[in-house]
Amino acid sequence: MAIGSPTAYLLWAVLACLFCGFLVFHLWRYDRFQCLRWNAGRQPGAFKRVMTYTYVASMPLLVVFSVAMSVLKYKEGFALVPSGHIMPKLTPFWKDSHRHWLLPLYFVFSGAWALEIITHLEELTFWLFMLHQGPKKRDWFESWEVKVWYMGSIVAILGMPLTVLITREEIDKCQAWIFLAGSSASSATTLCFLYVLARFPIFIHHVKEEGADPDVVVRLTTFYNLNMVRVMFRFIFTVPLLVLAIDGIQGPHGIVTDPFWSDFLLVLAGIGCFISSTITLLVSAAFLYDTSSSFRYCWLDILPSFHRTRSRLQTKRTINVR
């Protein structure tokens, strides 16, 4: 079944279009889309471009899915079920011309979710890389964190469409399987981000003690506050979809067939998704533009000196105790 009412998908469509418009306006106001060129920036590179295009491409895909699903839902309308309730018409009773659109749209949705997982996994692994920097300066592209991102990205970009491909024979449950795979991966990434948030205040304190530029400290503090809000909305996005997925696959389908709960959870998920995506744009604006590389490399230069200083202080304390 295609979970939810036409109104719920209409909200998704409105939010997706608004955010896509905000993204286009943001890129235009910055440098009229010049930052999207492959060789843009003072430190161009394939990794930076891949991450930029991954983030930007996910939004139009979500617009296509949400707008098309809302149109199909409104065209099919509602039906009176034996229990006496008026429900959105179930997909087995849709017109064949409309049902044929479901599989392509599910591929679009799974692709968009895969790109979003890649984006958030990169953020997670980069912050883990920053927090785990030791006295000796490590290279990002040779770290275990980037290998985790690389493997996770392969799993996401292959796993999400494969979920649709494997479950295509049960098209009525295909959306529930997408929700299960995507929300499980996104929830796991968000849970790991709690570790980053727990360690981040100490990280900011140490960077400040090392005499970092005040602008760096202010940005780090801003990123920390924004990430706390974003993590909350990420859970608002993933947990409702996980609940819908489990009920849609295992049954007894008391939630997905309930007009209130199915719409309520979908609306919550839509709000959580697009608010967290907006915050991601605010947090990652420097990454999308030229300041990203220099800003990040600035932190990489600070951290080794901090760890060397901490090691010397610990050595002195040990000698004094002895």
Distances (CA, A) of 133 to 137, 141, 189, 284, 301: 7, 13, 21, 21, 10
* Predicted pLDDT at 311: 44
Spell out the residues 6+ positions from residue 165 whose beta carbon is closer than 8 angstroms to its own.
none
Distance CA 2, CA 173 (A): 8
Higher pLDDT, 208 or 233: 233
pLDDT in tens, 18-56: 999 999 998 888 778 887 887 776 665 778 888 889 989
Burial class (CB in 10 A: 0-12, 13-18, 19+), 30: middle
* pLDDT tops 70 at residue 295: no
Residue with token string 């009525």: 172
Quote the pLDDT of residue 310.
Answer: 42
Domain ranges of the chain: 6-321
Fold of the domain spanning 6-321:
Rhopdopsin 7-helix transmembrane proteins (1.20.1070)
Q: Which of 189, 167, 169, 190 has the alpha carbon at shortest distance from 177?
A: 167
- Look at residue 176 and tell me whether its pLDDT is greater than 60: yes
Q: What is the mean pLDDT of residues 292-319?
A: 42
Which pLDDT score, from 0 to 100, does residue 229 have?
95
State residue 281's pLDDT score: 84
Which has more confidence, 98 or 130?
A: 98
Residues 6+ apart with CB under 8 A from 282: 226
The 10s digit of each residue's pLDDT in 240-289 is 999 999 999 987 778 888 889 999 999 999 999 999 998 888 877 644 44
Q: Is the pLDDT of residue 14 over 80?
A: yes
Q: Write down the pLDDT at residue 135.
A: 67
Per-residue pLDDT tens over the stretch 115-171 = 999 999 999 999 899 888 766 778 888 899 999 999 999 999 999 999 999 999 988
pLDDT of residue 285: 60
Its pTM stands at 0.85
Evaluate if residue 238 carries a pLDDT over 60: yes
| Positive/negative CA dihedral, 178, 179, 180, 181 | positive
Which pLDDT score, from 0 to 100, does residue 287 have?
46
The better pLDDT of the pair 297, 64 is held by 64
What span, in angstroms and rounded, lies between the C-alpha atoms of 151 and 206?
31
Q: What's the rounded Cα separation, in Å, for the pair 46 and 128?
A: 21
pLDDT of residue 322: 40
> 233 vs 282, which has greater pLDDT?
233
